A and B are shown apart, each in its own frame.
Chain A
Amino acid sequence: MSKELVIKAKNGDIQALNKLINNHKDLAYSIALKHLKNKEDAEDVVQNSFIIVLKSIKSFRNEAKFSTWLYRIIYHECLKELKYKKLTVEYKPQFFDIEDEKIDINKEASFKNIFKVLKPNEYTVISLYYLEEKSTNEIAQITSLSKSNIKVLLHRARLKMKKAANNNIKNEKRNYKRDT
């Protein structure tokens, strides 16, 4: 399917190009936004990256290769933009009690602001790993980080997400007790 899509896009099929863009634009934008913290800049970076990659789509055999290269360009364009603007990514560490409470996926509040605790790099790695199902090898290719570094980032991101979710549940319980 992804192979067909790339072949169609290579031949200039606008529908296929649209589908290819739609398949990746949300994650690409989320990653760029996490890095740049500005909607306009993130949109520009994603748009430019798509143009760069689609211009040389003829050298890709399937969507997996295409997406790996796309995310690599997006990631490095974000870093370039940050360097250019001399922005420093502010990160305020948050400390939570580690409690292994059961997490309910249906409780929206449990996951409110869960990604705010993640650093841009951690968010990039975890979203590529779970949403795009990229291997640590591919993520290493995308980010130019070492494989062991990717594994550390993944572990840290999972831990932070768990702590954030537990903290939200704790707050919910506290609020519920206060109300009753």
Chain B
Amino acid sequence: MKKEIIKEILKKNLKTISNDDFNGKIIQQLDLSKNNEKPVLFGQKSMIRVFLVISLLILIVNSISIGKLPLQTLIIGITICISPFYFMIFNKIYKASIQNY
């Protein structure tokens, strides 16, 4: 059978949804889910950003005021500073896993 013929037969034999409000129900559900999200003063992203900026500032001020910091302190400080990145990475992995479902 030719490609066009198969396509035509398939098109003709598609079943249609009898519910007239099918699209409306879907769109309504989408809006409801948006309304369910309660407004917050600080979002997750902004909290992580603020934490990053503050910890970086503390690290810089400390290194300027105290002078040379011991390597161990510096490593601990940097590890704490970059810790919010882990949440961002976990979020990315979670999003990718949803897409791969």
Contact = CB atoms under 8 A, between A and B. Distances in A.
B30 A131 contact: no
B16 A26 contact: yes
A59 B14 contact: no
A130 B13 contact: no
Nearest to B14: A26
A56 B98 contact: yes
Contacts of B33: 55
A114 B99 contact: no
Interface residues of B, number: 29
Interface string B9-22: 11111111111001
Contact of B15 (A29, A105, A130, A165): A29
B8 A115 contact: no
A158 B6 contact: yes
B7 A18 contact: no
Nearest to B96: A59
A73 interface: yes
Overall SS of chain B's interface: helix
Interface residues of A, number: 38
A161 B95 CA distance: 40
B101 interface: yes
B15 A33 contact: yes
Contacts, number: 79
A54 B95 CA distance: 14
B27 interface: yes
Given A103-B1, A165-B1, A54 B10 contact: no
B3 interface: yes
B4 to A, nearest CB: 8
Interface stretch (A44-52, A91-99, A145-153): A44-52
Interface in A120-154: 126-127, 130-131
B26 to A, nearest CB: 5
A71 interface: no
Interface of B: 1, 3, 5-19, 22-23, 25-27, 29-30, 33, 95, 98-99, 101
7 contacts: A21-B22, A22-B23, A26-B14, A114-B9, A126-B10, A161-B1, A161-B6
Given A30-B13, A43-B19, A103-B1, 7 more contacts: A25-B22, A26-B16, A30-B14, A46-B17, A54-B26, A73-B101, A111-B12
